[in-house]
Amino acid sequence: MPPQLRVAVVTGAAQGIGQRTAEVLAARGYRLLLNDLQSCAQTAAAVEVLGDISEESTAEQIAAAARREFGRVDVLVNNAGIAHIAPAEQTTAAAWRRMLDVNLLGPFLLSREIGKIMLEQRAGSIINIASIAGLLAVADRSAYNASKHGLIGLTRTLAAEWGGRGVRCNAVCPGWVKTPMDTGPQELGLYNDRDIIGRVPMGRFASPDDIANAIAFLADPEQSGFINGHTLSVDGGWFADASWETLRLRHR
Ligand SMILES: NC(=O)c1ccc[n+]([C@@H]2O[C@H](COP(=O)([O-])OP(=O)(O)OC[C@H]3O[C@@H](n4cnc5c(N)ncnc54)[C@H](O)[C@@H]3O)[C@@H](O)[C@H]2O)c1
């Protein structure tokens, strides 16, 4: 298929990982349909559907726009997400529900609506942006961790249900990435760059490019066509490394 006919939907595309992902996919020839709460005008030339992904109507509008503007969808990147940092004993039901609504219900609704298009095509790739917090616990993030663990469960379920009809579903688990999601908590003094760099065997943050390139790999059936239900850590070795701090740093 000529590259100009490939279509990607990216949520949370106004900034951070979603913005860079949209730029990388555009450079690889994808036509874009972008979603966010904020305008994505700074990101790339695209059809834009603004709205909250936890609302059923937003997912329906995105799918309708994809059918109307392009008549197909090859790639869905469920990237939009929010963080909530609080001790478990201080996490309210309202905060918990909001985390699960945005980080887990939203990707489900988008996958369901765009999945219908992909199932008709008998082709497509869904990429859910989870986190190392979907594989491991990070303290003070009970709702976030639960939402990302759940997203990996959803990824595996869709891979099992839809793989036989040509629709793949995989998850990407970034380590810490320099985006507004990182700068907010750092400004509040909750952690600093040294904490993160010390924890990562490769000794640095992930860049938005690191994550976007992994997403582009999972998007492309020529590169990853038999990869389905996989959880791809892009974390410089964080998940693999159970060393204690001084042992890790001795190997720098
Ligand atoms: N930054 C990190 O260190 C990191 C690490 C692991 C995983 N992640 C995950 O990567 C994804 C992107 O993170 P980021 O760092 O780019 O975050 P970010 O906060 O910089 O950007 C998130 C974008 O999503 C949008 N958004 C938020 N809620 C939305 C909603 N309800 N509907 C539509 N759009 C919404 C925001 O407006 C924003 O533009 C998230 O799912 C996050 O959990 C980030």
Spacing, Cα 13 to ligand 1 middle (Å): 9
For the CA of 130, the closest atom of ligand 1 is 7
- pLDDT (tens, 9 = 90+) of the chain, 252 residues, equals 554 589 999 999 999 999 999 999 999 999 999 999 999 999 999 999 999 999 999 999 999 999 999 999 999 999 999 999 999 999 999 999 999 999 999 999 999 999 999 999 999 999 999 999 999 999 999 999 999 999 999 999 999 999 999 999 999 999 999 999 998 999 999 999 999 999 999 999 999 999 999 999 999 999 999 999 999 999 999 999 999 999 999 999
Spacing, Cα 164 to ligand 1 middle (Å): 31
Sorted by sequence, the CB contacts under 8 Å of residue 183 that are 6+ apart come out as: none
Mutation test of ligand 1: which of 181, 234, 238 has the most ligand atoms closer than 8 Å to its C-beta?
181
pLDDT of residue 5: 86
Spacing, Cα 2 to ligand 1 middle (Å): 31
For the CA of 54, the closest atom of ligand 1 is 31
Spacing, Cα 31 to ligand 1 middle (Å): 21
For the CA of 184, the closest atom of ligand 1 is 19
Give me the active site residues, please: 144
Give rounded-to-5 percent helix, strand, coil for the chain. Answer: 50, 15, 35
| For the chain, domain boundaries | 3-241
CATH number of 3-241: 3.40.50.720
For ligand 1, atom 40: residue with the closest CA: 81
Spacing, Cα 102 to ligand 1 middle (Å): 10
For ligand 1, atom 8: residue with the closest CA: 131
pLDDT of residue 126: 99
- The tokens describing 126, both together, are 């869904």
b/e string for 86-114 if b means 16 or more Cβ within 10 A?
eeeeebeeeebebbbbbbbbbbbbbbebb
For ligand 1, atom 31: residue with the closest CA: 52
Residue in the block written with tokens 């949520």: 11
pLDDT of residue 233: 98
CA–chain centroid gap for 204, Å, is: 20
Backbone angles phi, psi at 50, to 5 degrees: -80, 150
Q: Which residues line ligand 1 (CB under 6 A)?
A: 11-12, 14-18, 35-38, 52-54, 79-82, 102, 129, 131, 174, 176-177, 179-182
